Amino acid sequence: MADGTLPPVLTSSHPIGGLTPLRMTGVRLVRKGQVLLNIEDLTIGSAGVTVLLGPNGAGKSLLLRVADGLVRPDAGAVTWGGLAPDGTVRRRIGFVFQQPVLLRRSVRANLKFAMGISGLWDRRKADRALEDAGLAGLGDRPARVLSGGERQRLALARALVLDPEVLLLDEPTASLDPAAVAAVEGMIGRAVARGLKVVLVTHDIGQARRLADEVIFLHRGQITEQAAARLFFADPRSAAAKAYLSGLLIP
């Protein structure tokens, strides 16, 4: 991953003809006269971790939502392996939000609901997912009384237990302490090692350095740079990315 080597080839049970690459062409989103997103051409491949990096308000989270079909652009096309992001496609994509949306139920019941929707409920598999998330023994606890780190790991486990082909993560470690960040990153790392494609939004440069195989830098709703992580961090080409990496405050 961050050392420049790509993770192993996909080992998931999904058939060939999967959802990657993600392609966006001519995607444009305007609200109240302000251009929030303007993506001329974007392709995200099938391997490793792609990090969407940029300052607050750059359009990173919005791009992720447009990619998942949660927000419909005013213009342009979004496809996953040639398919539009409709409900069927969305069920093959995992999405973890910055503020995890947990049902007012027990930890295990949260997994049960997600798996039940896809007709995949399997208690042993759910318990294995909780174990992987470091939540073994908390299955019967109400999800909403968990700590911030536990909540985010539960949200991640709930997404991973569905065996998604792609995992979209919207700042999953924002407002978590270093230990909680390490636990979440550990889960992401293990999932990637199993061959899962991850698209991660962050404005944490350190996290991007640790996890990214590829970086897409956004500024004011536009992609200013897309490069392999090593190249990006060694020699960013766009002025905005240079300023951002050097710690300057960019508007």
Partner 1 sequence: MQDFGAAFRLAGHLLVSGDPDLLEIVARSLAVSLGAVLVACLIGLPLGALIGFLRFPGRRAIVVFLNALMGLPPVVIGLLVYMMLSRAGPLGPLGLLYTPTAMVIAQAVLVTPLVAALARQTVETLAAEYDEYFQSLAVPWHAALGALLWDGRSALVTVALAGFGRAIAEVGAVIIVGGNIDHLTRVMTTAIALETSKGDLALALALGMVLILLSVGVNAAVMGVRSRAVEAGHG
Nearer to partner 1, 15 or 119 (CB): 119
Calculated CA dihedral for residues 131, 112, 196, 69, nearest 10 degrees: -150
Nearer to partner 1, 146 or 240 (CB): 146
Which of 113, 137, 190, 237 lies at the binding interface for partner 1 (CB under 8 A)? 113
- Min dist CB 238 to partner 1, Å, is 31
Q: How far apart are CA 172 and CA 207, in angstroms?
A: 11
> Strands across the sheet with 75-80, in order?
34-44, 22-31, 75-80
By CB under 8 A, residue 129 contacts partner 1: no
Nearer to partner 1, 110 or 224 (CB): 110
By CB under 8 A, residue 70 contacts partner 1: yes
Beta-carbon contacts of residue 234 (< 8 Å; ≥ 6 apart): none
- Give residue for tokens 């940029």: 54
Site string for partner 1, 133-152 (x = CB under 8 A): ---------xxxx-------
By CB under 8 A, residue 119 contacts partner 1: no
Structure tokens at 164: 């998604």
Nearer to partner 1, 21 or 69 (CB): 69
> Strands across the sheet with 214-219, in order?
93-96, 166-170, 197-202, 49-53, 214-219, 222-228
Site string for partner 1, 85-104 (x = CB under 8 A): -xxx-xx-x-x-x---x-xx
* List of residues contacting partner 1 (CB under 8 A): 65, 68, 70, 86-88, 90-91, 93, 95, 97, 101, 103-105, 113-114, 117, 142-145
